[in-house]
Structure 1
Amino acid sequence: MKIPLPPPQIQQQIVDECEAVDRGTDQAHQTITATKQQIEEKAEVVINAGYKIKKIGDVYNTTSGGTPLSSKKEYYENGTIPWINSGEVSKKEINFADNFITELGLNNSNAKLFPSGTVLLAMYGATAGKVALLNIKASTNQALCALLPTDEMVPKFLVLVLEAMYQDLLNMRTGIARDNLSQEKIKNIKIPIPPLDIQQRLAAEVEQLEAKITEAQAMIDKAAEHKNAILTKYL
């Protein structure tokens, strides 16, 4: 196999520029780690500030979705209704859907259309205890508990509370493999209820920090592309 062999000074220039990309990537990883820590610390301060405590079931209406029969192609073909499954809670904020169902699928199953601002909590399997904020109108499968918007809570604040409680949520799981959360258990979870302005302030601060994480992650994701561009420029 033949490989290009530029002059030594060009080789060194390539190495220098690629190392600069690596340094940027390392810095981006450090930024992500530090910023996540900042978010956790900010959330913990508010969560532990001694505000009134209520059960989720006393604040939220909770429900779950459903899965239209996969054997009915008319329930899925050319569907326009976003349909979210539990694997998508890893996005943390859901701004689009990978799957869609039709009106027929919605009306002939336990699926329901949830409003933007609904908080989704995964109940089963490997994703149990994971939480995401729904930023679009969408339906879901039965593996997600939907906490419908309420005037008493800022949705983003609830997400932060549940993320802080992740280990506690895991400890609540039941079933043969101890990998399931039930709606009943979720409704009995106790959460702090700060004044709305406190919730809103924390949510806004966290969104700014999450923007830093997104920017840093974009730099990491483009590192290979940048290195290829360097090689293309010189070889």
Structure 2
Amino acid sequence: MEVREPSAKYLARTAFKQTDVGLIPGDWSVSTIGDLASTSSGTTPPRAQANKYFENGSIPWVKTLDLNNGSIVSTDETITPAALSETSLQLYPNGSVLVAMYGGYNQIGRTGILEISATVNQALTAIRPDTKRLHPGYLLRVLNHRIDYWRTVASSSRKDPNITSKDIREFPLAVPPIPEQQAIAEALSDADALIESLEQLLAKKRQIKQGAMQELLTGQKRLPGFAGEWQPTPLGAIGEFLKGSGITRDEAQSGTLPCVRYGEIYTTHNDYIRAFQSWISLEVAVRATRLRQGDVLFAGSGETKEEIGKCIAFVDKLEAYAGGDIVILRPRGFDSLFLGYALNTANVIRQKASRGQGDAVVHISAVALAQIEVRVPDATEQTAIATLLSDMDTELAALEAKLAKARDLKQGMMQELLTGRIRLV
């Protein structure tokens, strides 16, 4: 089923009134969760009797780990009927909204809405709305939108701040008429469905690309029309090595000429340079190392041997420069984009790790890199493989942009709909 971007018809803006939760439409009211729903919590059956209370269980048992700020359709653990009958556990119905109370600021306020009947542990409060006055989906969206509220009430008497069931019952919220609550919940559910579909598609495309890289960059799978052996070739035979020049943090924001600093190879770039983050002045460029189209840049320093020597290809024609702790390979007769992909594969990473020097800070030199071997096909096949993989990257980038747009759209919808600034028909 195709999921489209949610659309809505909007009413004209209405008169607002000032309340404890801010400005809201005049026909909305303000209440608390405790006034509109019943709340309770759960427990953990004795682990010492796991064979009685957990093994071969069939009843879902929700923990903070299971909360995803959306629909809960399965749980990490299940319990037995004996656990339900012999402890204080309750079975909560579909539509119950769950809130995490423990675990510090990164956990408290996490939510979920049951799409199944389930029990919960003692770290969660289960909210059962009076559906004549409070729509469960609307409540879920309000809680997600106002998660920072819990910082204002969390108890800091322990190492990890917590909230209580009382705090949850006293949570104040704006209450539109039930039909409008339902419309808001449905619109935001459509937005969630779009985001989820894009996330799933993106994950699938990334998996496909990863598989293609594993097969194509090792010669396990050949593109149509290509044959012949791949030759193990040391990097020293592929081209010459150069060194980047030291560029300080301040200098990296001093002008308009693009440059790469070694840390950005780890944090910003993957396989090849798509966009620059640092820009130097002409005065700094005079003493810096200028890149040529086709250069391959290695991070000469790093924190671990497993990451040392990560590399990226520079495939553009524009004027750009390399900072210090960067080792530059200038290939002769090899496709640099292919090398950008191939020199980050598992076999090459292992070789780089074995040649890295140091503990707290790891270094790798041009001499060490020159000894690393990579299996390469002829130049035509190199280019064909690189083109296919870069086309996949382009598709992934477009999907990532679409996903970011969908998330921004949802955020904007929440801000407008949950405050009544825009009213849904």
Q: Do residues 141 (structure 1) and 121 (structure 2) align? A: yes
* Most deviating of 211-220 and 59-68: 211-220
Give identity over the alignment, percent: 29
Higher helix share: 1
Q: Do residues 185 (structure 1) and 163 (structure 2) align? A: no
Letter in 2 for 1:83: W
Question: How far, CA to CA, are the matches of 2:137 and 2:191 in structure 1?
Answer: 13
Q: Do residues 201 (structure 1) and 183 (structure 2) align? A: yes
What does residue range 19-168 of structure 1 map to in structure 2 within 5 Å? Answer: 49-50=24-25, 51-72=28-49, 73-90=51-68, 92-125=70-103, 126-151=106-131, 152-168=133-149
Question: How far, CA to CA, are the matches of 1:110 and 1:164 in structure 2?
Answer: 32
Structure 2 runs not aligned, ≥5 long: 8-20, 224-384, 386-425
Note the aligned Cα RMSD (angstroms): 2.3
Secondary structure class of the residue paired with 1:58 = helix
Aligned position for 1:218: 200
Aligned position for 1:25: none
Aligned position for 1:6: none
Question: How far, CA to CA, are the matches of 1:196 and 1:109 in structure 2?
Answer: 36
Deviation track 1:3-61 (CA, whole Å, cap 9, x = no partner) reads xxxxxxxxxxxxxxxxxxxxxxxxxxxxxxxx8xx9xxxxxxxx853320011111111
Of the two structures, which has the highest relative contact order with CA contacts closer than 8 Å and spacing of 6 or more?
Answer: 1
Letter in 2 for 1:166: I
Would the aligned equivalents of 1:66 and 1:112 in 2 still touch at CA under 8 Å? no
Question: How far, CA to CA, are the matches of 2:32 and 2:57 in structure 1?
Answer: 37
Structure 1 position 229, deviation (Å): 4.1
Question: How far, CA to CA, are the matches of 2:102 and 2:96 in structure 1?
Answer: 19
Letter in 1 for 2:73: N
Using a 3 Å threshold, how does the CA distance of structure 1 residues 164 and 91 change in structure 2: closer, same or farther? closer
Secondary structure class of the residue paired with 2:68 = helix
Letter in 2 for 1:49: I
Structure 1 position 86, deviation (Å): 1.0
Structure 1 position 177, deviation (Å): 2.7
**TM-score calculated relative to the size of structure 1:** 0.76
Structure 1 position 187, deviation (Å): 1.0
Give 2:152's match in structure 1, choosing from 154, 171, 192.
Answer: 171
Structure 1 position 142, deviation (Å): 0.5
Would the aligned equivalents of 1:123 and 1:181 in 2 still touch at CA under 8 Å? yes
Question: How far, CA to CA, are the matches of 1:132 and 1:233 in structure 2?
Answer: 46
Structure 1 position 69, deviation (Å): 0.3
Using a 3 Å threshold, how does the CA distance of structure 1 residues 59 and 149 change in structure 2: closer, same or farther? closer
Higher strand share: 2
* Most deviating of 102-111 and 74-83: 102-111
Structure 1 position 91, deviation (Å): 5.3
Question: How far, CA to CA, are the matches of 2:45 and 2:92 in structure 1?
Answer: 16
Letter in 1 for 2:56: N
Question: How far, CA to CA, are the matches of 2:80 and 2:158 in structure 1?
Answer: 35
Question: How far, CA to CA, are the matches of 1:122 and 1:186 in structure 2?
Answer: 10
Question: How far, CA to CA, are the matches of 2:111 and 2:181 in structure 1?
Answer: 18
